[in-house]
Amino acid sequence: MIEKRPVLDFISHAVLIIGAALVAFPIYVTFVASTLTFDQIMSVPMPLWPGDQLIANYTQVLTAGSTKGSTAAVKDMLVNSMIMALVIPLGKISISILSSFAIVYFRFPLRNFFFWMIFVTLMLPVEVRIIPTFKVIADLGMLNTYAGLTLPLIASATATFLFRQFFMTIPDELAEAARIDGAGPMRFFWDVVLPLSKTSMAALFVIQFIYGWNQYLWPLLITSEESMYTVVIGIKRMIVGGDAANEWNLVMATAMLAMLPPALVVLLMQKWFVKGLVETEK
Amino acid sequence: MEKRVVFRSAWLPYALLAPQLAFTVVFFFWPAAQAIWYSFQLQDAFGLNTQFVGFENFRILFGDANYLRSFRTTAIFSVLVAGFGLGLSLLLAVMADRVVKGALAYKTVLIWPYAVAAAVAGVLWAFIFAPSIGIVTYLLKGFGIHWNWIINGNQAMLLVVIASVWKQISYNFLFFLAGLQSIPKSLLEAAAIDGAGPARRFLTIVLPLLSPTTFFLLVVNIVYAFFDTFGVIDATTQGGPAQATQILVYKVYHDGVKSGDLGGSSAQSVILMIIVIALTAIQFRYIERKVQY
């Protein structure tokens, strides 16, 4: 704060309150809709105060899905989403930390070639190679499997870069001391590098958890069985037609359930989240 | 930058790299090579015969008015998403940087949309703007605006832009805020002592110093609008009405998955790859420059 400007302060708060209200509005409406009956939503305008159907709606979607659209139970979808959201970050972190350790702490033939091989994958988001990747998964017989859902999304260069950058900041003296004490590379990795990388791993985990949970195009392509739906796909499958054809109260209850886990991760791990976001993009 | 102290082993580094390389080859290089291969092939309607046709698929694409229109749609969409996304979040970040009280509360609300999946964001906004039951549609009717994005292309575009911007605001906001907080306070204080008011300080000091962040976010937002908005569009307009919101990525999906045009869709994938490579190159040139500062 450089100088006192009460008018500017007032404007700042006003802008922020309006901004926050606009950002929160859709989420509030979603929550309200998830507590109403179908008829209440259909009466235009719908009430903007929560109704009394909270437990009924959530129980319905968790155990039996919607009645007009997909009838898969959302609780199974939540399990699938959770598997994706956990396997993808854990897989990414494990393979990337090993490969960056090799690239930073070893000199070997073709090192630069391998590094560039990983590097160029930055340029191939899944959206770009949809159909061929789908064929690869189909050829490997991994349609409608957890392996098919997660494995193609595990490979990524961003995590490798993050670890590489972090390893470069580890003082050389530590590696020197380890060598003098007779520790081999893997001993150094387990006892020095891994404990030092905890912060980077946590930050990466938060970002990738959200990435995995919110996947849409990939599960849409390779899951055709209801038992493999993730919750984001489940919402899409509940929407069957025009405005009046959808059970919006149930769709919105599912939407709340789909938002809750990643939102909790963001809110509870805000520090790691911001760190992960800012660092993975550098 | 290289490490001075390294370990020596004839096989260990390869073993450590193997898992990542295996994933990279199987899920990146193999599919990418196949995309390029298919893009030079033409399949008959039943997928029984394929023949090598050279650049025929690309020639057809660039003679196809629908494809060219999809380019235009993507351009309009990304400019709107990046423009509104950056403008609004810069405004919010500048305000949040000023206030002391309640800063954490504002921040907590503003980063929430980051946690929401693109497809869910699309469903939320589609519900609010639903032609017959939407709460905002009802309000707009009060102002005499007839809102129906299911038949009106411009309104459909506006809907997907709003949903996409909403989802991306958190990300932009956090980066702008970090950028603002890294500007040395001494510079601003010196300017204030010299008599520069808040507006002048913003235009002559804050904005130029924020330009690396802004440029970075511009590239990220364009990439986001190009690719990550697939969920928003599929959950709301599905490219309609009359392809008014059919961006390039959606067309790849539509032609390849729904229409089964393998060659054409692969050719589109190849063109998209070239676009991503160009965008990434721009981004990395900029990052190299930043390192030298």
Q: Model confidence over A155-176: pLDDT tens digits?
A: 878 888 888 888 988 899 999 9
Whether residue B180 lies within 8 A of chain A, CB to CB, comes out as: no
d(C-alpha B94, C-alpha A19), whole Å:
12
CB of B124 within 8 Å of a chain A CB? The answer is yes
* Residues 189-208 (B) with a CB less than 8 A from some CB of A: 189, 192, 198
**B276 has a chain A CB within 8 A of its CB:** yes
**Is B62 an 8 Å CB contact of chain A?**
no
Q: Is the torsion defined by CA of A244, B153, B228, A30 positive or negative?
A: negative
Across the range A15-44, mean pLDDT stands at: 90
Map out the domains of chain B with their CATH numbers. 69-292 (1.10.3720.10)
How much is the average pLDDT of A111-137? Answer: 81
Provide, as residue numbers in chain A, all residues whose Cβ is less than 8 Å from the Cβ of B227: 125, 127-128
Distance from CA of A39 to the nearest CA of B (A): 11
Residue B61 forms contact with A (CB below 8 Å): no
Q: Is the pLDDT of residue A282 over 60?
A: no
Cross-chain CB nearest to A15 (options B95, B114, B125): B95
Q: Taking the model in full, what pTM does it have? A: 0.89
Q: Once rounded to an integer, what is the mean pLDDT over residues A118-127?
A: 75
Helix (H) or strand (E) segment spanning residue A203: helix A198-213
pLDDT score recorded for residue B292: 36
Which of the pair, B281 or A181, is modelled with greater confidence? A181
Interface test with B, best of A22, A116, A130, A274 (most B CBs within 10 A): A130
DSSP tag of A230: -
Choose from A100, A209, A214 for mutation: most chain B CBs within 10 A: A214
Which residues in B lie closer than 8 A to residue A186 (C-beta atoms)? 12
Q: Which of A9, A15, A210 sits opposite B115 (nearest CB)?
A: A210
- CA–CA dist A85, B240 (Å, integer): 31
Q: What is the pLDDT of residues B152-182, one digit of tens each?
A: 889 999 999 999 999 999 999 999 998 898 8
Please report the domains of chain A, with CATH numbers, ordered by start residue.
34-280 (1.10.3720.10)
| Whole-angstrom distance, CA of residue B250 vs CA of residue A220 | 13
